[in-house]
């Protein structure tokens, strides 16, 4: 039982490049989330998926897209990376929307 | 909008001491959950403790306990017999049962346990 896994762990991009961050959970959870963490700040919600087939914007969605591929997987895509997107990205999941969220190990992304 | 405030950016105590981290929140909702998460240098976000707002009894988890004051909208974390492994960032977080049910985080408190 791996919990929540994320790939890659580290990534360096040039401005304008695109990439997809992958997230998977094996806890049969319905809800999944993407957060970003910037220095000196708590986590901020980018997008979430309350259930398979649904996605909604969070606090800071601009510049990102998401796909809930199936119940297990929830990906985050940066279409044209910008330096302002340099951050640590966390994926999380919960059984239902208001339940405890369990986090993946994070992806450190640097955009040059 | 719901907000979570942690007024102590950094704290430092000696090993085996007791330390209390403060958190206040703002909401008009009556039903919600509160959490403390720990983020050690490994960066992993680890759940420390959860409190349901409808429960009057304060949650405890081994050396970790909370002081939940619903009327004052205060949710502090007490760590007893602190250990070197408790060194981490600690985040207070809130989620309500209405609306989008989004987890809202405070800015964190950096706790250092000194030998």
| B5-48 pLDDT, tens digit each | 999 999 999 999 999 999 999 988 888 999 999 999 989 999 99
* pLDDT tier, B100 (very low <50, low <70, confident <90, very high otherwise): low
Measured CA to CA, the distance from residue A63 to residue A76 in angstroms comes to: 10
With beta carbons under 8 A apart, name residues in chain B contacting A50. Answer: 101
- CB A58, CB A44: distance < 8 Å: yes
**Banded model confidence at residue B82, pLDDT cuts 50, 70, 90:** very high
> Residue A30: is its pLDDT beyond 80?
yes
Average pLDDT over residues A83-94: 96
Residues of A with Cβ-Cβ distance to B35 under 8 angstroms: 100
Residue A1 clears pLDDT 80, i.e. is over it: no
**Interface of chain B toward chain A, CB-CB under 8 angstroms:** 4, 33, 35, 37, 42-47, 50, 91, 93, 95-97, 100-103, 105-108
Q: Is the pLDDT of residue B1 over 90?
A: no
Percentage above 70 pLDDT, chain B: 96
B106·A88 Cβ contact <8 A:
no
- Note the pLDDT of residue B27: 87
User: What's the whole-number mean pLDDT along residues A59-88?
Assistant: 96
A91 touches chain B (CB under 8 A): no
Residue A32 confidence (pLDDT): 95
Cis peptide before B75 (omega within 30 of 0): no
Beta bridge partners of A24: A5, A73
pLDDT at B76 over 80: yes
Pairwise CA distance, residues B115 & B111, whole Å: 13
Residues of A in contact with B44 (CB under 8 A): 103, 105-106
Q: Which alpha helices (DSSP H) does B30-106 contain, by range?
A: none
Q: What pLDDT does residue B2 have?
A: 79
pLDDT of residue A45: 92
- Contact between chains at A45 and B103 (C-beta distance less than 8 A): yes
* Cβ–Cβ gap B44/A103 under 8 Å: yes
């Amino acid at each position: 039982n791996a919990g929540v896994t994320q790939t890659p762990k580290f990534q360096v991009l040039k401005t304008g490049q695109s990439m997809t961050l992958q997230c998977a959970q094996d806890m049969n959870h319905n809800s999944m989330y993407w957060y970003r963490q910037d220095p000196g700040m708590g986590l901020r919600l980018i997008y979430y998926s309350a259930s398979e087939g649904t996605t909604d914007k969070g606090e800071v969605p601009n510049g990102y897209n998401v796909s809930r591929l199936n119940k297990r997987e929830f990906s985050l895509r940066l279409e044209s990376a910008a330096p302002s997107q340099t951050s640590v990205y966390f994926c999380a999941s919960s059984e239902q929307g208001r339940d405890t969220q369990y986090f993946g190990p994070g992806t450190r992304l640097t955009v040059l | 909008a719901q907000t979570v405030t942690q007024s102590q950016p950094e704290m430092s105590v000696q090993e085996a001491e007791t330390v209390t981290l403060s958190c206040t929140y703002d909401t008009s909702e009556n039903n919600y959950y509160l959490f403390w998460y720990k983020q050690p240098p490994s960066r992993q976000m680890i759940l420390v403790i959860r409190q349901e707002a409808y429960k009057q009894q304060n949650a405890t988890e081994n050396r970790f306990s909370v002081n939940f004051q619903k009327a004052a909208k205060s949710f502090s974390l007490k760590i007893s017999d602190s250990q070197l492994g408790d060194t981490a960032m600690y985040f207070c977080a809130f989620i309500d049962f209405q609306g989008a049910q989004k987890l809202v985080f405070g800015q964190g408190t950096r706790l250092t346990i000194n030998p």
